[in-house]
Amino acid sequence: MCQVFGVSRSGYYNWVQHEPSDRKQSDERLKLEIKVAHIR
């Protein structure tokens, strides 16, 4: 699969195991809060 996408195996596994940034985590929490607010 890595050859199809032109990435190294180590690069792929590094990407899979990375932690989301603080900004991404904050965005996800905000998205959830907005969804909950619309349900109410």
Check residue 40 and give its pLDDT. Answer: 85
Calpha distance 5→36 (Å, rounded): 37
| Residues 24, 30, 34: CA angle, nearest 5 degrees | 145
| pTM of the predicted protein model | 0.56
Calpha distance 7→3 (Å, rounded): 6
DSSP 5-38: HT--HHHHHHHHHPPPPHHHHHHHHHHHHHHHHH
Give domain limits for the chain: 2-39
Per-residue pLDDT of 2-38, as tens digits, reads 899 999 999 999 999 999 999 999 999 999 999 999 9
What does the block give as tokens for 13? 């596994």
